């Protein structure tokens, strides 16, 4: 059976290298690519399920037009004519910015950038700024260290202490658990900080379960302890850090008792954490994305990052801050998946007017011109963005909705026209990662179904019909079959990285550092690590020093007495957000979202295990089956995101709010109540 190198392009921390066996025009089996040292251990169930997913009967394999509320197949000519008619009318009547272009994280690849190139040639559009995923943490790291990079994944094995802080890799980055296991086998210790007792905490030596959104208080108190115990690295601070004196003053008031009161943790637990941080070197702090989904989480992340900084743990083997590794993002403004970061500047052509976190409300608020049509690709905003009802309302106001999709998602179901999307096996592209340092080829290994066209081809055909200047098309777009030439142009600056080499296996990104910041160069304004950041004030109106603030919405917020529980909506093992859940291989594992609640919180509400309960707040309600879990912090309930509207989509209950920096989404600033279902 012919075997091909490829890679999993999902928005998943692992970004696995793969080898696929192809026979009779179909992918028959999938294995890990052994040359990817970060992910060589194995492919997760989602990865294995591509064999099924590629040929699933639920796949959309031709354009679909909604007529009288139902989808009917149409041919490509009809579909493209309809789009061109509306685009031409909209451009003449209200201007190109009445078209809303929405893209999200469905797949990685350089060819994704062709979308925005097309809308520029069209004359402009309106698009989003910010991102649902990780920007508060990215910005906190950039302000402090000057860049987002970290040690190679396998370097974790050299740590003597690992801290998973608001990260749950046993579900969201399974391969990190292999590297952790090797560190533990060599005697390392593991601390987990998470309001839930997650699968990642199974081997932890210490688990701290703070009240959600209060981690900054914990970090400030830990810093105070380390200062008092003289366990900070004065030589490192003197040579490389700006603002330590001011920070030391700031943490003075953060006694163990004060932090204990804010976080709800026992002071002795905080002390034990400080013992480990103070005595075990090198240590690696691995903060997760879940923790930075709060209104003040940029500042929280800065407070966490101060811990490895004051202990001199930046730039060492086995040490550091392992948030996001952008060493593979070498392709300029098409550096997917990050073309939003920094957010594109308004330039008179593209109106960057809609905050991703406030998608529905901001879409509705656009004026001069108001939005009339939307083009959605690689995203499923109706269940995945905050405030689902507002997002639905905004989409329903439009005259034309085009959604490019592999499956009939909740967003596709709202469309007037659905265009079929290629899958990972059907078009060649180059993908980066945000954890390991490899560039990988996502290779075309089979032909798409006859009526499926990759997005780049659809844009080419539309541009032809709209009469776009040929020279501009040749320059900015990709003609059918032109992918290889496009990718070779992109790779031209790095002669050592060729498509041929990538076809053999993963290739380290140019200049990739196994130990990040080993040269102790920090591209901040001062050239030093900035605990004190003027830019935090200038850019985001935040304090120069990291500090603690209560979440905008939390139990106890004024007016929210009726909603005493904190709702967390983390990612879950057998889905990538709203993807994979319906496949035969995976559906039985988690057919419905469960509501996890502490037994005591259930008991006082008269809720018995396995029954259904109503989860609600002023914005919405869900009926969910209950799972009692003594491992979740009392006062906190948890429901995974990624389920569809008919299964139970958590963003029916969330508010559209931005994080304090980076224009992220504060998904976890939401209070709820639970009651036994009638
Ligand atoms: N299987 C699977 N893997 C994925 C994804 C997926 O959907 N499914 N998605 C990918 C993407 S896009 C992302 S962004 C990453 C995210 O993966 P992670 O970084 O692991 O983030 P989350 O799952 O959002 O949340 C991690 C943990 O943060 C905890 N948490 C929430 N609030 C707080 C808090 O206030 N303090 C502390 N200390 N902890 C808190 C949650 O309980 C949760 O266990 O996963 C990637 N990998
Ligand atoms: N409440 C709550 N909500 C959350 C989160 C949370 O923690 N809590 N996490 C947030 C996070 S971290 C993220 S990253 C977002 C993710 O939000 P989205 O990026 O919207 O995530 P997906 O659900 O993966 O939707 C991607 C869609 O792209 C489609 N797709 C895949 N490949 C292709 C392709 O090649 N072409 C086209 N056209 N389509 C393709 C898939 O079928 C899928 O429907 O969700 C966010 N939502
Ligand atoms: S979903 Fe994540 S863990 Fe699974 S194969 Fe893809 S990259 Fe690897
Ligand atoms: Mo994400």
Question: 135-326+516-540, superfamily in CATH?
Answer: Dimethylsulfoxide Reductase, domain 2 (3.40.228.10)
Q: How far is the C-alpha of 495 from the C-alpha of 478, rounded, in Å?
A: 22
Spatial contact of 641 and 577, defined as CB atoms under 8 Å apart: yes
pLDDT value at residue 347? 73
CATH for 64-130+343-508 (3.90.230.10, 3.40.50.740, 3.10.310.30, 3.20.20.140): 3.40.50.740
Is the CB of 405 within 6 Å of ligand 2?
Answer: yes
CA dihedral sign, ordered 663, 533, 300, 555: negative
Condensed to tens digits (0 to 9), the pLDDT of residues 337-379 reads: 334 444 556 678 999 899 999 999 999 999 999 999 999 999 9
pLDDT value at residue 246? 98
Q: What is the mean pLDDT of residues 199-210?
A: 97
If you measure from the C-alpha of residue 117 to the centroid of ligand 1, how many angstroms do you get, rounded to a whole number?
A: 32
Compute CA 391 distance to the chain's CA centroid, rounded to the nearest angstrom: 19
Is the CB of 151 within 6 Å of ligand 2?
Answer: no
Least confident of 545-559, 562-576, 624-638: 545-559
**Residue (of 295, 205, 220, 203) closest to 257 by Cα position:** 220
Q: How far is the C-alpha of 116 from the C-alpha of 125, rounded, in Å?
A: 9
Condensed to tens digits (0 to 9), the pLDDT of residues 172-191 reads: 999 999 999 999 999 999 99
Helix axes 215-228, 267-279, angle to 10 degrees: 60
Q: How far is the C-alpha of 305 from the C-alpha of 320, rounded, in Å?
A: 9
What DSSP assignment string belongs to 38-73?
Answer: TTTT---HHHHTHHHHTT-TTB--S-EEEETTEEEE
Q: How far is the C-alpha of 475 from the C-alpha of 28, rounded, in Å?
A: 38
565-676 belongs to which CATH class? Answer: mainly beta
What DSSP assignment string belongs to 266-325?
Answer: -HHHHHHHHHHHHH--SEEEEE-SGGG-STTHHHHHHHHHHHHHHTT-SSSTT-EE-S--
If you measure from the C-alpha of residue 111 to the centroid of ligand 4, how many angstroms do you get, rounded to a whole number?
A: 20
Helix axes 256-263, 267-279, angle to 10 degrees: 120
Report domain extents, the chain.
64-130+343-508, 135-326+516-540, 565-676
Condensed to tens digits (0 to 9), the pLDDT of residues 264-320 reads: 999 999 999 999 999 999 999 999 999 999 999 999 999 999 999 999 999 999 999
pLDDT value at residue 344? 57
Strand order in the sheet with 373-377: 70-73, 64-67, 417-420, 400-405, 373-377, 99-103, 125-129, 350-355
pLDDT value at residue 678? 83
Is the CB of 12 within 6 Å of ligand 3?
Answer: yes
Is the CB of 380 within 6 Å of ligand 2?
Answer: yes
* Helices (H) then strands (E): counts for the chain: 23, 27
SS3 505: coil
Summary mean pLDDT of the chain: 96
Q: What is the mean pLDDT of residues 69-96?
A: 98
Q: How many CB atoms lie within 10 A of CB 584?
A: 10
Spatial contact of 655 and 553, defined as CB atoms under 8 Å apart: yes
Q: What is the mean pLDDT of residues 452-467?
A: 98
Say whether pLDDT at 474 is over 50: yes
Condensed to tens digits (0 to 9), the pLDDT of residues 225-240 reads: 999 999 999 999 999 9
Is the CB of 10 within 6 Å of ligand 3?
Answer: yes
pLDDT value at residue 332? 64
pLDDT value at residue 609? 86
Spatial contact of 542 and 302, defined as CB atoms under 8 Å apart: no
| Pocket, ligand 1, Cβ cutoff 6 A | 11-13, 133-134, 165-168, 171-173, 193-196, 198, 210, 212-213, 215, 288-291, 568, 570-573, 575-577, 642, 668
Say whether pLDDT at 334 is over 50: no
The two beta strands, 429-431 and 189-193, are: unpaired
> Which residues are close to ligand 4, an ion, with C-beta < 5 A?
133
Spatial contact of 518 and 459, defined as CB atoms under 8 Å apart: no
**Residue (of 239, 242, 244, 241) closest to 227 by Cα position:** 244
Condensed to tens digits (0 to 9), the pLDDT of residues 144-159 reads: 999 999 999 999 999 9
Q: How far is the C-alpha of 138 from the C-alpha of 313, rounded, in Å?
A: 19
Q: How far is the C-alpha of 669 from the C-alpha of 553, rounded, in Å?
A: 5
Say whether pLDDT at 335 is over 70: no
Q: How many CB atoms lie within 10 A of CB 481?
A: 8
- % of the chain exceeding 70 in pLDDT: 98
Ligand found nearest the CA of 13: 1
pLDDT value at residue 336? 37
Q: How many CB atoms lie within 10 A of CB 573?
A: 17
Is the CB of 384 within 6 Å of ligand 2?
Answer: yes
Condensed to tens digits (0 to 9), the pLDDT of residues 599-623 reads: 999 999 999 988 999 999 999 999 9
Output 614 or 334, whichever has higher pLDDT: 614
Q: How far is the C-alpha of 611 from the C-alpha of 428, rounded, in Å?
A: 48
**Whole-angstrom Cα Rg for the chain:** 25
Q: What are the structure tokens assigned to 317, written together?
A: 């083997």
Q: What stretch of H or E contains 418?
A: strand 417-420
Alpha-carbon distances of 270 from 261, 313, 636, rounded to whole Å: 12, 20, 20
Compute CA 50 distance to the chain's CA centroid, rounded to the nearest angstrom: 21
Say whether pLDDT at 34 is over 90: yes
Q: How far is the C-alpha of 282 from the C-alpha of 348, rounded, in Å?
A: 50
């Amino acid at each position: 059976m012919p075997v091909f190198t490829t890679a999993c392009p999902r928005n998943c921390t692992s970004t696995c290298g793969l080898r696929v066996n192809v026979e009779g025009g179909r992918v028959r089996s999938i294995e890990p690519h052994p040359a990817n040292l970060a992910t060589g251990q194995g492919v997760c169930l989602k990865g294995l399920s591509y064999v099924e997913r590629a040929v699933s009967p639920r796949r959309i394999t031709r354009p679909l037009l909604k007529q009288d509320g139902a989808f009917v197949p149409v041919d490509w000519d009809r579909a493209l004519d309809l789009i061109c008619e509306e685009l031409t009318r909209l451009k003449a009547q209200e201007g190109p910015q009445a078209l809303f272009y929405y893209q999200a994280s469905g797949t990685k690849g350089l060819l994704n950038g062709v979308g925005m190139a097309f809308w520029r040639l069209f004359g402009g559009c309106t698009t989003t700024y910010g991102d649902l995923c990780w920007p508060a943490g990215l910005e906190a790291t950039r302000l402090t260290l000057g860049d987002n990079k970290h040690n190679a994944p396998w370097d974790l094995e050299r740590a003597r202490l690992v801290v998973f802080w608001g990260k749950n890799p046993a579900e969201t980055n399974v391969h990190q658990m292999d590297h952790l296991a090797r560190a533990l086998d060599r005697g390392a210790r593991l601390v987990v900080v998470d309001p839930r007792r997650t699968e990642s905490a199974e081997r932890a030596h210490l688990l701290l379960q703070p009240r959600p959104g209060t981690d900054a208080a914990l970090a400030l108190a830990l810093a105070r302890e380390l200062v008092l115990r003289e366990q900070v690295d004065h030589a490192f601070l003197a040579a490389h850090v700006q603002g330590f004196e001011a920070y030391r003053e700031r943490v003075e008031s953060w006694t163990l008792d004060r932090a204990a009161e804010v976080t709800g943790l026992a002071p002795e637990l905080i002390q034990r954490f400080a013992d480990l941080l103070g005595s075990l070197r090198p240590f690696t702090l691995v903060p997760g994305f879940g923790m930075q989904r709060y209104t003040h989480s940029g500042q929280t992340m800065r407070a966490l990052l101060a811990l490895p900084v004051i202990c001199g743990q930046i730039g060492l083997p086995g040490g550091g801050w392992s948030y996001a590794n952008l060493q593979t993002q070498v392709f300029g403004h098409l550096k997917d998946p990050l073309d939003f970061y920094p957010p594109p500047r308004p330039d008179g052509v593209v109106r960057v007017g809609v905050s991703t976190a406030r998608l529905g409300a901001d879409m509705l608020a656009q004026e001069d011109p108001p939005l009339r049509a939307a083009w959605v690709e690689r995203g499923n905003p109706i269940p995945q963005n905050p405030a689902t009802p507002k997002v639905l309302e905004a989409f329903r106001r439009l005259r034309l909705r085009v959604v490019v999709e592999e499956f009939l998602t909740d967003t596709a179901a709202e469309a007037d026209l659905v265009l079929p999307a290629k899958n990972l096996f059907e078009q060649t592209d180059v993908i980066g990662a945000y954890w390991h340092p490899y560039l990988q080829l996502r290779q075309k290994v089979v032909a798409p179904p006859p009526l499926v066209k990759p997005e780049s081809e659809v844009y080419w055909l539309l541009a032809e019909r709209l009469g776009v200047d040929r020279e501009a098309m040749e320059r900015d777009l990709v003609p059918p079959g032109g992918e290889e030439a496009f990718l070779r142009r992109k790779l031209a600056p790095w002669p050592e990285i060729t498509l041929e080499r990538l076809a053999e296996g993963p290739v380290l990104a140019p200049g990739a550092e196994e130990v990040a910041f080993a040269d102790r160069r920090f591209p901040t304004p001062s050239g030093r690590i900035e605990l004190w950041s003027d830019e935090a004030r200038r850019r985001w109106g935040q304090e120069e020093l990291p500090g603690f603030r209560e979440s905008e919405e939390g139990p106890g917020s004024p007016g929210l007495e009726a909603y005493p529980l904190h709702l967390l909506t983390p990612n879950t093992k057998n889905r990538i957000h709203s993807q994979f859940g319906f496949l035969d291989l995976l559906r039985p594992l988690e057919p419905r979202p469960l509501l996890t609640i502490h037994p005591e919180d259930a008991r006082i509400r008269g809720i018995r295990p396995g029954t259904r309960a109503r989860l609600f707040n002023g914005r919405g309600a869900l009926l969910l089956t209950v799972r009692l879990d003594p491992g979740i912090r009392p006062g906190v309930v948890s429901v995974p995101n990624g389920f569809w509207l008919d299964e139970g989509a958590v963003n029916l209950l969330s508010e559209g709010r931005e994080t304090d920096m980076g224009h992220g989404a504060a998904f976890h600033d939401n209070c709820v109540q639970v009651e036994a279902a009638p």
